[in-house]
Structures are given as structure tokens and as C-alpha cells.
Structure 1
Amino acid sequence: MSLITPNTRARGGGGAQKGGVRRYEHNKIYAHPLPLLFVEPPPSRIGSVLGLLGLSLTRIENPHCEGVFDPTTRSVWVTRPDDALILWRRGFFGKGDLSRSEPSWLARQTNIRASGGKQLTSEEVTARRRAERRQFKLDRAAAIAAVAEEAEEIFATEGRVIAPALSGPAIPSAATWRPSQSAAAAEAEAAEDEGRDGPLEDEAPLVDVEHLQLTLQEAFFLLWNLDCLTVLDPQQTHAMSLKEIWLTFQSAELPPTIPAPPNPFDTLQFDNPFLINYAVYHHYRSLGWVVKSGIKFCVDYLLYKRGPVFTHAELALVVCPVYEDPADQQSSSIALQNATPFTWSWLSTINRVNSQVQKTLILVYVTIPARSRVPLDVLRSPACLGHYSVREVIVRRFIPARMRD
């Protein structure tokens, strides 16, 4: 049983007022944590009587979304915009293939055409901030070089030794630096030109070419636990059964073999990467966390309390498979990541990266059942997940100035 559970209480007394209108809108848009909706009927006498008997008239609304399995990217593509919007807003499942997270490509392009490029999207704001940060570093380096050159001239002419200053009025800082007026004027002039031109009359209408991309773990959680996703075969375009999906997702994570085995059951293995990663994903999703990919911070998963639009992730997970029987690892054809003991330099590197972004590193150990104890036939159904166990080890960087108490 995990001791890590999301804390839903707000920090501080004025937490609800900090977000303002944006926080209020987010609370309305992302009010449902799962795609399933539980609709309660209005209060009535019949409902009160049924409540005394332990019964309820609550109705479950299932969106029944649809996706297509893509073996090349090992993911499930949700191409219908309505389904993609539901899965993202009700649980933050998936990622837009043309966006950072939410599938908003069509909205961004429509906004650019309507406003002439004056209103910036979140991606454009991020690009501008990165460009300004890059320019700030260049200006600071140029100012430091100028101060050093001035010190060398004083030494050459007057013979005085002056240590070049790394701070002061001549050296820009992050608090005082502003973009140059010429760059700002050029950017404003370009924006005016774009707004003046406006959209062309013969401009082709926008077509939404973006899709929501679900990982195999997300897709299987939606179709097996919530029954709100139908996965279609990419070639025959028919709905795949649970057994077909279970075997296909396991085969997708294995390296290709030539010739391919005639029987898909011959490829079943306890150390399949899909099984190990899904055990971790299912474990934390069941505890109420929003689980997203952590490749940006060199980890496997990130845990959010409510979702990416509310707060940053507080926990970073590294999945560490552990064989119950060491002989299984030696005879296995799969080289699992982090299955062998890693070096302290690797652990220190990962921990330092996540400490800098204020994330707590957690090593998640998944115990792989031994073949001598559990037969391979249990891998034919998801019931085999009951033989896997998940343990957590929290790693924190020791900082003497902060941890003296």
C-alpha cells in the first residue's frame, strides 16, 4: 500500500484568490477527474427511500471515445476532436501531437488568423521568453567582457590592477534587464504589418490535423478500468477485443524478431516493459494522482495533484524493475532499463536535476514474479497484474543549510 497520496487542501488562506479569473475558469473546465460522469437525479421521495435501502438512482454517463492503435509510435491516436477534448479535460489523458500538452493547434491557428498574430498563445509566449533569456545572457556576457577589457586598458596605460566586477550598474541583472528598444520596436512593427494585412480572402479554411496521442498505459487504463475507450485495428478498422489489445500492447513493447512467431502467446514474458510500466501507472492513477510522462526531467513519470494546468508536478518517478528470481534476468531476452544496479553518479545526476525544479525523486521498485512460482498462462489476461508489487523509496538531496533541524 502506498503512503503517497495527493493532498487536495489549498496552501495558505489566500490560495483561491491568487489565480483569479483563470483559476475559476480552470475549476469549471476541469471539474471532472475522469471521463465518466456520475449524474445524480433531483431529490425526491423515491430517492430517499432507495437511499435507506442502500440503493441509488445515480446515472453514469460514458463518453465511449474511439482511438486507433499505431504500432509505429506505440500509441493510440484519438482523431475525433470531441473525444480528444473529453479525454484531456476529464483527467488530462494523452497529449496533442502538435501541441505541448492540450490539443490546441486548431484554436491557436484560428486565433492567429482572427487577431492577425497580436494575441500570443502559450507556445509563442514560451518561445518569446526563451529568446529574451538567451538575449539577456548574451548582453550580460558582452557587458562583463567590456568591463574586463576596460580593466586591461587601465592596467596597460596606468599600471593599476583592477578586478573586473561581475555585478554593478554596468552589468545587467535578471531584475533590471529589459529587451532593447530596437528589438521591441521591430517586433511591434512586424505585428502591425501582420495585423494590417489581415487574413486573405482566398485563404483556405483551417482543417484540424491534430490528434490526441495516448500512451499504451493510458489507453489500457481507459478501456479496461473505465470502459470508455474503444481501440480500432489500424489495418482492418474494427474494434479490437480486450484479449487482442492485451496481447498487442505487450507485443508492441518487444524488439522485433525475424521471423515473427506464429503464436502471439509465445512472446509472453513477465518482464515485458508494458506490464511493468502499466503496474506503476495503474498504481498511482488509482490513488488519485494525474500521471504524465517525465522524459523532460530524465524520469519515467511525473505526478500531479490535479493536473498540469493547476500546479507543477511535485513528484518524479523512476521505475526500477526487480526480478524475484535473479535467474530469470539472466535468461531473459529483454534488457530492461534500470534493472541492473545503477551508479551513484547517475542517481546524483537525476536527483540534482529534479531538485533544481523542486521535485521530489521517488524510486519505484516493481517486483517481477518468478517463472518458477507463477506459470506463464496467467499472462493471457490482465489478472496477472496481481502478481506484481510496487514499492517506493523517496530520495532527497541533503542540504546542510536547510536540514540542520
Structure 2
Amino acid sequence: MSNPKARGRKGGPRNTENNRIYAHPLPLLFVEPPLARLNSVLGLLGLSLTRIENPHCEGIFDPLTRSVWITNMGHSMALWKRGFFGKGNLSRSEPSWLARQLNLRNAAGKHLTSEEVTARRRAERKQFKLDRARAIAAVAEEAEKLFEKEGRVVVPALSGPAIPSSATWRPTQPFTLPPPAESTADDLDGVDEEPEPLEDLEHLQLTLQEAFFLIWSLDCLTVLNPDTMEPMSLQAIWTAFQQAHLPLSIDHKPSLQLDNPFLINYVVYHHYRSLGWVVKGGIKFCVDYLLYKRGPVFSHAEFALVVMPVYEDEEDRDNSVLTLQNSEPFTWTWLSTINRVNSQVQKTLVLVYVTIPSKSRVSTSILDSPACFKHYSIREVVLRRFIPARMRD
């Protein structure tokens, strides 16, 4: 017998399946030993037999796109399902290109990807609007006929048994996936011919901040040099990720800078990841990052972050070779626009001020290791758009 609470709760079975698939918040798994009794005895002594299972994923550094590519599908799904790291280069978020192509080949596929579920909902919503408009037009036409025949004035109703509502409306036909272009009748030579196996053309694309968090904090990612395909050392990765944001120089190798965008964005990324938030890109809402409590498949993002670099010494900004976004004082028009966009989608806007240490106080030699992060600080300013109709109380 099904649970009445789960049946009455919206998305109950779907949330249960998501809880099973995305049960682990990080790629590292803590596996408990089967001998629970022995473990309990060791627990009294302050010891534990819990072992850490590390996926040891591999990726290729791409300096042109400033990202790390995970080409192994097993590694890609491990990083996505355990913390929602990265993004499929041919997908909206989850690397599901191959699954979508297989569903196109087999239109009767029951397991839809997240993008296909969204497409189905949009198609059903469009059909509902068309059915409702037809029903309202029919009621209005009937009222006009009554006025012409009997002279009675009838106000067309916008609700009632004849007008479908979002709570009672059901699609007359189930949503079907569009047929693939290669499966037309003209291109098929025989019915019994086996389809060619699909090659997965998608890879998981990690930002440099995500990749370095997996390398430095979790030690579960190995980055390969794109030229030699050999594993890069932590020092080489640290330097390469910074140089990817520096302007190219023909005469000499660019020197590391305290206001490097990689450092500033990683400070913010690491700060919120360490607090348990799932951090994703927010370019869709004109911000730098979005914060999810558990992940995109569970709920919408609650907070939208805008990274605001602040120089400890104003002279460093004037003499810098880099032009940082949002480092100049913002206008109220810009702030109102960003705040309005995120208020409409029920997200709280947060301005994250990252203080860049002054060159007169610290030397650029500290950039040789990640220990330089202790010289950066973060301040948060939460903004809410004032709406008189909703905030009278």
C-alpha cells in the first residue's frame, strides 16, 4: 500500500528517486565496514574502520576555454551525481546528450532526461493555454448567440465546468518525442537493419574553480597536460590556472597578479562550497554564481551571487594589467536591474565583496602556493527589492 503522505506531496516519487541517485554530496564516499559490532567497540576506543572511496577522475586542461574536460563518461557521471560538479558541453546541465539521442531512437523510452521532462512540461503548458483560449472563445460565442436570438446579455465566464483550469486539466494525448532526423522513411533501406551504435560526443566541462576544488580540497581529480597528456603536478596546475586569465605577452611570460580573476572567483567558490552549498554558474540570471541547498534537481537556487572585487589599495587598481568586472563603483541603474531580474525568479541577491591584498603589504611571491588565500577576505551584503504590495505587514 502506498504512503498517503508521499502520494499527497507534490513530486513525492520523483524526490525519492532523486534522493537515491544523488545521495552523496561529494565525490568521496565514506564506506562503513560490515562488522558493525567490531566498529562499535573500536568507536569506544576512539578508532574507526571507515574507509574513504576515491573515484580518482581524470580530466584534460584546456587553456583556451579556461576549463577542464572530463571525457570519461563514468567519471563525468560520478562528479555530477556526487555534488553536481561541471556541465555537459552539449546539455543544459547534466551530461545527458547520449541518453537524449537514445530516447530519440526509441520514442517509447520511459526514462526521460531532465531536459526532456522540461520540454514535455512546456508542451503541456502550451496545449493547456490553447485549450483554455478555445473554451473561453466558445463561451463568448454562445453568449453572442443568446444576445442575438433572445436579447439577453450574458457575461462570458472565465471559470467554471466548461473552462479548464490548471488543477483539473489533463492532456488529451501524451507527450511524444520528435523523431530523429536520421530515421526518416527515405533514408531507411530495410526495416530489419540494425541501427549503428551511437558515439558519445559529449564531455563534462569543469570550470577552473570547480577543478581546483576537486584537486586541492578533495584530491579526487587528476589533470592532464593537453600537449603531452601527462599528469600535471599541483604546482603546475596552480600556475597554469592563473596564467589562463592573464593577457598573453610575446616578450616574456606573464607574471602572477594578486587580482587574478581565478583567485578572486575561487575564494568565493571555496567559501560557499565549504559551507555545504552547491555552487553553480549564474550567467542565466546576470550573476556570477547561484547557490543551491542540495542541487538543481531538488529545488531552485535560493541565492544569486555577484562577485565584487575590492582593492585594498586603490593604486593597485590603477596600475593593474587586468580589468576586473564589477571592480568599479556600480550605478543604481545596474543594481536595480540585477535585483529586479532575480526578484522575479524569487532569488535573493547577494553582493560578495572580495578584498584584494595590497602589494605594499604582501609580496606577489605568496602567489607561488594556495597559502595566499589567507590574505583574501569576504564580506556579504544581502539585497531585497522593496515591493509595497507584498511588504505592507
Report what 2:351 is aligned to: 363
Verify the 8 A CA contact 2:107 2:177 in the aligned structure 1. no
Count residues with an aligned counterpart. 362
Report what 1:352 is aligned to: 340
Find out whether 1:113 has 2:105 as its counterpart: yes
Of 363, 369, 391 in structure 2, the residue corresponding to residue 381 of structure 1 is 369
Q: How does 1:170-319 map to 2 (within 5 A)?
A: 201-257=193-249, 259=250, 261-262=252-253, 266-319=254-307
Report what 1:4 is aligned to: none
Q: How does 1:46-85 map to 2 (within 5 A)?
A: 46-85=38-77
Residue type at the aligned position of 2:56: H
Verify the 8 A CA contact 1:293 1:301 in the aligned structure 2. yes
Verify the 8 A CA contact 1:289 1:306 in the aligned structure 2. yes
SS in 2 for 1:34: coil
How far apart are residue 120 of structure 1 and its match?
6.1
Distance 1:383 1:117, change over 3 A: same
How far apart are residue 47 of structure 1 and its match?
2.8
Verify the 8 A CA contact 1:112 1:119 in the aligned structure 2. no
Report what 1:88 is aligned to: 80
Report what 1:401 is aligned to: 389
Find out whether 1:33 has 2:21 as its counterpart: no
How far apart are residue 19 of structure 1 and its match?
2.1
In structure 2, stretches of 5+ residues that fail to align are: 134-154
Return 104-113 or 90-99, whichever deviates more: 104-113
How far apart are residue 28 of structure 1 and its match?
0.6
Distance 1:228 1:180, change over 3 A: closer
How far apart are residue 67 of structure 1 and its match?
0.3
Distance 1:136 1:384, change over 3 A: same
Residue type at the aligned position of 1:386: K
Verify the 8 A CA contact 1:113 1:199 in the aligned structure 2. no
Separation of aligned partners in 1, 2:178 and 2:228: 49
Residue type at the aligned position of 1:290: V
Question: Could you tell me the TM-score, scaled by structure 2's length?
Answer: 0.81
Question: Could you tell me the TM-score, scaled by structure 1's length?
Answer: 0.79
Report what 1:158 is aligned to: none
**What are the superposed Cα offsets for residues 180-232 of structure 1, whole Å, 9 maximum, x if unpaired?**
99xx89x98987x9799898725321111111000000000001000000000
Distance 1:333 1:18, change over 3 A: same
**What are the superposed Cα offsets for residues 126-153 of structure 1, whole Å, 9 maximum, x if unpaired?**
4466578789999999xxxxxxxxxxxx
Distance 1:93 1:190, change over 3 A: closer
Coordinate RMSD, CA, aligned = 3.6
In structure 1, stretches of 5+ residues that fail to align are: 1-12, 142-164
Find out whether 1:329 has 2:322 as its counterpart: no
Distance 1:189 1:299, change over 3 A: closer
Separation of aligned partners in 2, 1:64 and 1:285: 20
